Amino acid sequence: MNSKLRIAIFGGSGYGGSELLRILLLHPNVEIEFVTANEHAGKRVSDVHRNLLGLTKLEFIKATEDLGGLNDLDCAFFALPHGQAMEIAPRLPAKVKVIDLSGDFRLSDADVFAKHYGREHSAIKAQAEFAYGLTETNREAIKPARCIANPGCFATATLLGLAPLVANNLLACRVIVDAKTGSSGSGAKPAPNTHHPQRSNSFYAYKPFTHQHVPEIEQELRRVGQWTNELVFMTHSLPVSRGIFASIYCETKNEVTAAGARDLFADFYRESFFVRLVEGSPDINWVKATNFCDIGFASLERQLVVFTAIDNLVKGAAGQAVQNMNLMFGLDETAGLMLMGTNP
């Protein structure tokens, strides 16, 4: 490629925007044209994301009203609160590719959206243009897509653990997903559930059965295979900053050993650099700040448990968004994403 992709970030002050900036600033094929943050307009990016001091001179701007005039952009990322991308993204020039990290364009059914997000969808026609951006299950649809609905963090961790089993039609009856997330999943805005004095010694469940990622999980599972099972989905809060761990309890139609599951997953993910199959259990410690999804297995007769671990802000958000951008522009899928984890 002769020149760098010109990209923009709408919503650069939250954690999704923060991680997009961290990744894209060093991406060899990208140049950031602008990054918006209405409440921080005029401030230096590195005044808000102090990790970036010395690494960028970018300043936040207000989003322009003249979205149609943004003809110079190759790609726009949206890392805005739910409900905002659907107001803005459809007004961009048709040549600008779009990657939305919010939940606005993930669900094809407007009623399901309204039920789970508590608002009417204002751009459900535009939604039809969006490919679901779980890279590993939807690569061929992502490559030619103009618009991507980037998956939710819990959805990513769950789907990567279930897709190979559903695609091979191995699951009997209900599936139980016991998922746990770090506090950054609640966003950059202080709130009682992320108040350090309490959160640092807490573990609790929340949104039982009703997390808004459930419908996108089921929608994608139906696309991947014949999903007619019952899904029990339970989210919990972990006292760490980053990371999602999902324990996925399956009952298989016939016995599938841990080793057998591993072989099956290895085959399903044979072209997927960012899926790593581990011995025993994965650990959020080994994926933090990286784009990897680590997967492990345990089995006992027809009980198969799949464990997945991701960084909620990287593979669960900004990293996967860039992975999708790479595919959409014919780049190597790993470009700019060789983010090494650390020990410890």
38 lies in the binding site for a second copy (CB under 8 A): no
196 lies in the binding site for a second copy (CB under 8 A): yes
**Interface residues for a second copy in 266-305 (CB under 8 A)?**
273, 276, 278, 280-286, 288-290, 292, 294, 296, 298, 300, 303, 305
Known catalytic membership, residue 153: yes
- Judged by CB under 8 A, which of 236, 264, 266, 329 binds a second copy? 236
Residue 6, strand partner residues? 31
Show the CA angle centred on residue 42, arms to residues 100 and 242, nearest 5°: 45
**Interface residues for a second copy in 206-235 (CB under 8 A)?**
206, 208-209, 230, 232, 234
Give me the catalytic one of 153, 173, 250, 293: 153
110 lies in the binding site for a second copy (CB under 8 A): no
Helix (H, G, I), strand (E, B) or coil at 20: helix
Smallest distance from the beta carbon of 23 to a second copy, in angstroms?
8
Smallest distance from the beta carbon of 204 to a second copy, in angstroms?
4
State how far the alpha carbon of 106 is from the alpha carbons of 110, 142, 254, in Å. Answer: 10, 13, 33
Sheet holding 97-100, edge to edge: 60-61, 30-36, 5-10, 75-78, 97-100, 147-149, 130-132
Q: What are phi and psi of 152, to 5 degrees?
A: -70, 160
Smallest distance from the beta carbon of 179 to a second copy, in angstroms?
10
Find the helix or strand (DSSP H, E) in which 299 lies: strand 293-300
Nearer Cβ to a second copy (96/248): 248
- Judged by CB under 8 A, which of 174, 255, 267, 332 binds a second copy? 174
28 lies in the binding site for a second copy (CB under 8 A): no
22 lies in the binding site for a second copy (CB under 8 A): yes
Give dist(CA 22, CA 324) in Å, integer.
Answer: 16
State how far the alpha carbon of 272 is from the alpha carbons of 100, 137, 240, 248, 294, in Å. Answer: 22, 10, 27, 21, 12
Give dist(CA 24, CA 9) in Å, integer.
Answer: 10
**Interface residues for a second copy in 45-74 (CB under 8 A)?**
49-55
**Interface residues for a second copy in 133-172 (CB under 8 A)?**
none
Q: Which residues are catalytic?
A: 153
